[in-house]
Amino acid sequence: MSGSTPRSTKGRIFSGIKPTGDLHLGNYIGALRNWVAMQKDYDCMFCVVDLHAITVWQDPKELLRATREVAAGMVASGIDPVENILFVQSHVAQHAELAWLFNCVARLGWLNRMTQFKDKAGKDREKASAGLYVYPALMAADILLYKGTHVPVGEDQKQHVELTRDIAQKFNNDFGVTLFPLPEPVIQGPGTRIMSLRDGTRKMSKSEPSEFACIYMTDTAEAIRDKIKRATTDPNLLPDSVAGLEGRAEATNLLSIYAALTDRTLEEVVAETKGQQFSQFKATLADTAVAVLGPINAEMKRLMADPAEIDRILKRGADKACDLAVPILKEIYDAVGFLPRT
Ligand code: AMP
Ligand code: TRP
């Protein structure tokens, strides 16, 4: 590998974020913050997964903008683009090639169980793209193309990582090889599923209808404060134990965000905030969120003003990723029995 020395002490991480609109607090807490914490101990590949983005319609200009913005968000959050491999999925054609093989390994029955497909396709399933349906095979290809061993993601991706394990295992069995590791999902910390600020039963996502539901990493300090102030709560004081959060989805969500942003457990923040009014706690939470996201936001702006620098980072990443992918795909093709091109 060119550039840095791999730190493959505990294994290889692969993870990705789709360039489908602005990054939000769920992406930051559920994914990016954990990546930053893990990057010292693993050999890491972080990918802007544009092939995944187009499983639903994306405006081409917006896709281009969001691709650079997600890369900028990764760097601004603290991902070191020199020590790690940060790249765009479509720059390494082997992802799509391996995805085809895995379409032939994955069983229809497995794909039919994927809850994300059911959610995203909605009622009018006939109109969903075929890509949305086979998306988990592409995700498995992303991870296994580099023999990834650990996949840090939010809770919503657990099922896809489990399917990746099934694909790896079936491939190894079918071809009598031990080519692929069985990658582990790494779903950790108090914020594995950040919920909408307006409705504690809905996941925070880019497609939330209310503009106050989602804190974006590009939000100004005023916008962050305003959204937290307006966040839905209940009429009670904050509880004195985690058990007291039972049936209080909004309170649980806000406390989980606070715990994640201050690197503490839910128990620890409940001990700090017990008996407080929401107004008092929200002021503390807003200060914390602004203190964490403010510098990231400023760094994202600085990077976005220099797209050539982002493109250089991504080119270097794609070159390194390609160097790793080419021999592994060759090994896979040999196992399948494809005639080598001489
Ligand atoms: P996406 O934006 O859907 O490509 O998601 C990128 C990463 O962010 C994945 O690891 C997701 O699991 C994670 N993620 C997205 N939304 C949330 C959320 N509301 N809470 C926690 N993690 C999330
Ligand atoms: N499917 C993930 C999401 O929607 C993004 C993703 C694509 C991914 N490929 C991956 C995550 C590989 C981890 C590993 O959030």
Q: How far apart are CA 285 and CA 256, in angstroms?
A: 11
Q: How far apart are CA 342 and CA 339, in angstroms?
A: 9
Stated as kind and residue range, the H or E segment containing 85 is: strand 85-88
Of 320, 319, 313, 322, nearest to 76 by C-alpha is 313
The DSSP string of 254-267 is: HHHHHHHHTT--HH
The identity of residue 185, as a single letter, is P
Q: How far apart are CA 301 and CA 312, in angstroms?
A: 17
- Catalytic residue list contains 282: no
Backbone phi and psi for residue 294, each to the nearest 5 degrees, phi listed first:
-55, -55
Distance 335 CA to ligand 1 centre (A): 34
Which residue of the set 147, 170, 203, 229 is catalytic?
Answer: 203
pLDDT given for residue 2 in this prediction: 44
Please give the DSSP secondary-structure letter assigned to residue 90.
G
The reply to whether ligand 1 has any atom less than 6 angstroms from the CB of 17 is: yes
pTM value is: 0.96
Pocket probe for ligand 2: among 157, 162, 194, the residue whose CB has the most ligand atoms within 8 Å is 157
Q: How far apart are CA 238 and CA 250, in angstroms?
A: 11
pLDDT given for residue 6 in this prediction: 53
The reply to whether ligand 1 has any atom less than 6 angstroms from the CB of 204 is: yes
Mean pLDDT of successive 10-residue stretches along the chain, which has 342 residues: 56 98 96 97 98 97 98 98 98 98 98 95 93 98 98 98 98 98 97 96 87 95 98 97 97 98 98 98 98 98 98 98 98 98 90
The pair of three-digit structure tokens given for residue 123, joined into one six-digit string = 């009622």
